[in-house]
Amino acid sequence: KAGVTQTPRYLIKTRGQQVTLSCSPISGHRSVSWYQQTPGQGLQFLFEYFSETQRNKGNFPGRFSGRQFSNSRSEMNVSTLELGDSALYLCASSYESGNTIYFGEGSWLTVV
């Protein structure tokens, strides 16, 4: 059974640009959540989607957005990138909330 797949794995963007990250959950999983991991702040919750609906959102500015498609695949977008957005962005999936979540390997974003 394939794990959570995130693309791209590594990318470099310039300040002011926007970026879209993609996440394919484990087959059959309907919940997808996103986290940002930085050395200073650790792992912080961004948002969670279930059946194309955002059920919860963390304390991030509106530049961070996401969506989920009917096949449960999810994307997150960050607009007007800032240097502080450099981080590892992790996607996790589970069958339903409260179940074990499985993380992908993450997308490393560097903003220069």
Partner 1 sequence: TQLLEQSPQFLSIQEGENLTVYCNSSSVFSSLQWYRQEPGEGPVLLVTVVTGGEVKKLKRLTFQFGDARKDSSLHITAAQPGDTGLYLCAGEGDSSYKLIFGSGTRLLVRP
DSSP letter for each residue of 41-74: TEEEEEEEEETTEEEEE-S--TTEEEEE-TTS-E
Minimum CB separation of residue 104 from partner 1 in Å reads 5
Positions that interact with partner 1 (CB under 8 A) = 4, 31, 33, 35, 42-45, 48, 50, 55-56, 58, 90, 92, 97-98, 100-106
In whole angstroms, give the CA distance from residue 106 to residue 84: 17
- Phi, psi values for residue 105, rounded to 5°: -80, -10
Nearer of residues 48 and 85 to partner 1, judged by Cβ: 48
Nearer of residues 13 and 57 to partner 1, judged by Cβ: 57
Minimum CB separation of residue 9 from partner 1 in Å reads 9
Nearer of residues 38 and 71 to partner 1, judged by Cβ: 38
| Contacts of residue 38, Cβ cutoff 8 Å, sequence gap at least 6 | 44, 86, 87, 88
Minimum CB separation of residue 80 from partner 1 in Å reads 25
